[in-house]
Amino acid sequence: MNAIYDRISIRSFLKKSVEKQLITDILDAGRVAPSAKNRQPWKYIVFADSTKEELLERMEAGLDREEHISATMPKSSFGLPDARNTLRIMREAPVVIIILNTNGTSPFIPINADDRITEICDTLSIGASVQNILLNATETGLGTLWIANTCFAYKELTESLDTDSQLVGAIALGYPDECPGQRPRKALDEIIEFRY
């Protein structure tokens, strides 16, 4: 229970590598998460060192394209400066873990209502898996940042990954170089409504 309340998003990491076995153990917590119809739609691809830099160069190219050539998400372009900052954080983190939905396809391709419901259920399942990973990392003394800004470089990243699976996001992982306070949360009476 402590990890639930102690977990915080880390945006500054020490220049210290993370052992492969420790990463494997942390990801194993994600493997045992509940999933809709037991589909277990998650896949995690771990990047460090030069492979991480190559991946992030592709992400930077996607951000450049989004800013200067053809915005695929024009209503979300206000988030591009934050995406640049996220890229900086990902470069600082010793490890970046890419999150895929192995049952999903590109969010830029229309799908029917049945497939959309399946996609929603799988996304919820992946969220549960990611939360297990974040909590396990917290328990081991590692810091994490759950990242969705990969959406701005979706094309470049999926091409670099050579995958047709849906890119859900990423996790930056490493030893924290900061201890920020908890961010504000809504009060319980704002989020809970009893009807009995």
**CA nearest to 104, candidates 128, 75, 125, 81:** 125
Residue with tokens 């400066």, as numbered in its chain? 81
pLDDT at 170 over 80: yes
Q: 161 and 98 in contact (C-beta within 8 Å)?
A: yes
Statement: residue 139 has pLDDT above 90: yes
Number of C-alpha atoms within 13 angstroms, CB side, residue 33? 28
Neighbouring-strand partners of residue 44: 99
Single-letter residue type at 117: I
**Residue 127 in contact with residue 149, Cβ under 8 Å?**
no
For position 182, what pLDDT does the model report?
Answer: 84
Across 131-140, average pLDDT: 97
Average pLDDT of the chain to the nearest whole number: 96
Judged against a pLDDT cut of 90, whether residue 156 lies above it is answered with yes
Amino acid identity of residue 65, one-letter, is R
pLDDT greater than 90 at residue 37: yes
Question: What pLDDT, on the 0 to 100 scale, is given for residue 71?
Answer: 75
Distance between CA atoms of 27 and 98, rounded to whole angstroms? 12
Its CATH class, for the domain covering 2-176, is alpha beta
Q: What is the mean pLDDT of residues 77-102?
A: 97
pTM over 0.85: yes
- Do the beta carbons of residue 12 and residue 173 sit within 8 Å? no
Amino acid (one-letter) located at 188: L
Mean pLDDT of the 26-49 span = 98
Q: Are 22 and 172 contacting, i.e. CB atoms less than 8 angstroms apart?
A: no
Q: Are 48 and 15 in contact (CB under 8 A)?
A: no
Task: Give the span between the Cα atoms of 75 and 52, in whole angstroms.
Answer: 29
What is the tens place of the pLDDT at every residue in 100-111?
999 999 999 999
